[in-house]
Structure 1
Amino acid sequence: MTRGIIILMITFLTSEAAAETVAELHEKELNAIDANNDGFLSKDEFNAFSDYAFQAMDEDKNGTLGLEEAKPFLDIKQFQNVDRNKDSFISRAEYDAQMDEDFNTADQDGNGQLD
């Protein structure tokens, strides 16, 4: 996976951009995430990539994202929005909750896949 794919997918961390982000994915990048090559991102494919992205950002492997780790991918406002308990770290639970919300926002027809 490339840094560009991570950056595009991490923009899901802003709910307003979730639907637009899928539309902006380049075909090559979509294909890298679309494990079964059906042209859609299923919830499972999205979750697998989300897991990969979190692990890639978590440079110190402590299970949280500090501002410095997230800075290449999120601006301060995005970071603060995901850091729901305001402890200056994004926990895995906070990250997963935001990614779930963003997937559901982008899945406008509720079919469990993004197209």
Structure 2
Amino acid sequence: MRPSLLVLCLLALPSAAAAQVNSTGDYLSRMDTDGDGKVSLVEYQDWLSYGFDAMDKNRNGVLEPEELPSGRRSAGAALTREQHRAQLAETFRKQDRNRNGSLDARELASPPQ
């Protein structure tokens, strides 16, 4: 995912959800829906799709240029949910430094490489 689009998605998180997350441990516990102490790819994609969902006003699974913040509209390209999830998968892969298919708290707190 282009870093700027990831930032846009994170900024679009509902303020209540964002306000409740104060540390990496909070992110891990919120993202880890099955409670196994690590974040899977699907958990990561589901959590980071809040921003996509908030911007997708017509709920068609595509972010049309008019649904993007004004600074991004000029790019003119739509983004599908599938493309968004594929970009998140690439970011996840870069964060999964030990290549075990999940993120622990340390990996989750580290920037993708």
Question: What residue in structure 2 maps to residue 88 of structure 1?
Answer: 77
Question: What residue in structure 1 maps to residue 10 of structure 2?
Answer: 7
Q: 1:32 to 1:70 in 2, by over 3 A?
A: farther
Q: Secondary structure at the match of 2:35?
A: coil
Match of 1:103 among 86, 89, 92: 92
Q: 1:34 to 1:105 in 2, by over 3 A?
A: same
Q: Which residues in structure 2 correspond to 1:24-43 (within 5 Å)?
A: 26-43=24-41
Does the CA contact (< 8 Å) of 2:10 and 2:48 recur in 1?
Answer: no
1:49 and 2:47 equivalent? yes
Please identify which structure carries the higher helix content.
1
Offset, 1:101? 0.8
Q: Secondary structure at the match of 1:95?
A: helix
Does the CA contact (< 8 Å) of 2:65 and 2:78 recur in 1?
Answer: yes
Unmatched segments (≥5 aa) in structure 1 = 1-5, 11-23, 81-85
Query: After superposition, what is the alpha-carbon deviation per residue over 1:48-73, rounded to whole angstroms, capped at 9, x for unaligned?
Result: 3245543333111122113453439x
TM-score of the pair, normalised by structure 1: 0.55
What fraction of aligned residue pairs are identical, expressed as a percent? 31
Measured in 2, the distance between the counterparts of 1:51 and 1:105 equals 18
Q: 1:67 to 1:29 in 2, by over 3 A?
A: farther
TM-score of the pair, normalised by structure 2: 0.56
Q: 1:25 to 1:89 in 2, by over 3 A?
A: farther
Displaced runs of 4 or more, over 2 A? 24-30, 36-39, 47-57, 66-72
Does the CA contact (< 8 Å) of 2:65 and 2:76 recur in 1?
Answer: no
Q: Which has the larger radius of gyration?
A: 2
Measured in 2, the distance between the counterparts of 1:25 and 1:99 equals 21
Unmatched segments (≥5 aa) in structure 2 = 1-8, 14-21, 105-113
